[in-house]
Amino acid sequence: MLDPKAIRANPQQVRESLEKRGAPAALLESFLEADSAWRTKTQEYENLKSRQNQETEKISLLKREKKDASSALNSMKELSQRLKLISEELKLLEERVVDRALVIPNILEASVPVGKDSTFNSEIRKWGQIKEFQFKPKPHEETGERLGLFNFEQAAKLSGSRFVVLKGAGAALEMALINFMLEVHTGSHGYEQVMTPFLVNADSMKATGQLPKFEDELYKTSDDLYLIPTAEVSVTNLHRNEVIAAESLPLKYVSFSPCFRREAGSYGKDVKGIIRQHQFNKIELVKFCLPETSPQELESLTNDAEKILQLLELPYRVMALAGGDVGFSAAKTYDLEVWFPSEKRYREISSCSNFTDFQARRGGIRLRRGPKAKPEFVHTLNGSGLAVGRTLAAILENYQQEDGSVKVPEALQKFLQVSSIKPR
């Protein structure tokens, strides 16, 4: 959430950021209209409150002088009734201002490329050598089904479309990836592992920006809890409404979780395979840091996610997202895209974002630089380290062999105790 005071003080900055995102200017105008109504009503309330104070003094004086105060008392009664009504109106107007502020996306950083969609994303760097196959590489879903790793029919029987049952070596490979990623991030990169609930309340969803904007994308239970779309939600909310000592920053967390998304609006896209599912596993990296260090922390977090791909020897590229492709809560985002030989293109496997104080303001997450210092909002960052299913799919594609087998990346062999997955 943007600071309403900052929006009011510099609406042009918000207007320019909305334009860069390709978002409607009406989001800002609606806020300014609501804010103006609230300020006008606030002034009316304060004027009446001043009159009430004057009437109170007048009544006290009349009583001290033993004079008739009935007229002043009647006037005071009318003022009190009007103040009560205006107070109720103010509460509604204030809620409207907050509601309008909640749907305005974060201010984009100046370095974010200009562009209305992903076609304007800017390539930052590439890593790895794209393998030249001596045969036509098969898509991951075909390889996975042939090796008995995936069963989509059983998943459809259990849950419907966009689910998968992982079997045998498929389930083992998924677990190996989870353990490998956690080992790297907790060991080499210094993140603290946390296991958080997969069901959260509405306040948690609001704090990270999923509500109210993405209500249609979420699964909600009958008792008003939401299945998390990413561990970002529960991990970021660990410090909701807390004040963190500045000397303890940055805080770095890594968390494994299943993720649940309706994928509203995505039907017709990636209907085959395990790229776009309603339930999938992910390793999430979350940071809390000082405001002045968040740009550097984004670079560091992105490098940490890249390291997983490097150790797995999967070719990838890093893309800086254009304004029109940056997520609602983010100020800047890098996507990691891994190479898929069957499609001859790169596909997203991680998004690493700096949210500046946007989530912290919504969640009341503050820092204090000293005993007498005024609390200020921290900056939050997160990124996938990585999406496990997509990593599995990338391995099946990049490590497939002409005989139908799939080599196991060297970094995973100690977890699986095999060097290849062969047809049964």
Q: Is 234 a catalytic residue?
A: no
In this prediction the pTM is 0.93
In CATH terms, is domain 4-102 a member of 1.10.287.40? yes
User: What is residue 267's predicted lDDT score, i.e. its pLDDT?
Assistant: 65
Identify the CA nearest to 309 among candidates 233, 220, 398: 398
User: What is residue 264's predicted lDDT score, i.e. its pLDDT?
Assistant: 64
Q: Is 348 a catalytic residue?
A: yes
Q: Is 351 a catalytic residue?
A: yes
The span from the CA of 95 to the CA of 214, in Å, is 19
Could you check whether 4-102 and 118-421 share the same CATH topology?
A: no
Q: Is the peptide bond before 423 cis (omega within 30 degrees of 0)?
A: no
Show me where the domains of the chain are located: 4-102, 118-421
Identify the CA nearest to 257 among candidates 215, 198, 332, 186: 198
Q: Is 257 a catalytic residue?
A: no
Could you say which of 82, 96, 146, 276 is catalytic?
Answer: 276
Could you say which of 19, 89, 217, 348 is catalytic?
Answer: 348
Could you say which of 162, 261, 362, 366 is catalytic?
Answer: 261
Confirm if 111 and 128 have CB atoms less than 8 A apart.
no
Phi-psi label, residue 241: left if phi above 0, alpha if psi -120 to 50, beta otherwise: left
- In the structure encoding, which two tokens stand for residue 224, read together? 């008003």
Read out DSSP for 240-290? TT-EEEGGGPPEEEEEEEEEE---TT-TTSS-STTSS-SEEEEEEEEEEE-
Could you say which of 350, 351, 353, 384 is catalytic?
Answer: 351
Could you say which of 21, 342, 390, 397 is catalytic?
Answer: 390
- ∠ CA 317-335-237 to the nearest 5 degrees? 145
Identify the CA nearest to 361 among candidates 203, 202, 207, 205: 207
Collapse the DSSP code of 330 into the 3-class scheme (helix H, G, I; strand E, B; otherwise coil) and give the result.
coil
For 277-410, list the strands marked E by DSSP: 279-289, 316-320, 332-340, 345-354, 366-368, 376-377, 379-387, 406-407
Pick the CATH number of 118-421 from 1.10.246.90, 1.20.58.1180, 3.30.930.10, 1.20.1740.10: 3.30.930.10
Confirm if 314 and 306 have CB atoms less than 8 A apart.
no
Q: Is 240 a catalytic residue?
A: no
**What parts of the chain have a pLDDT lower than 70?**
264-268
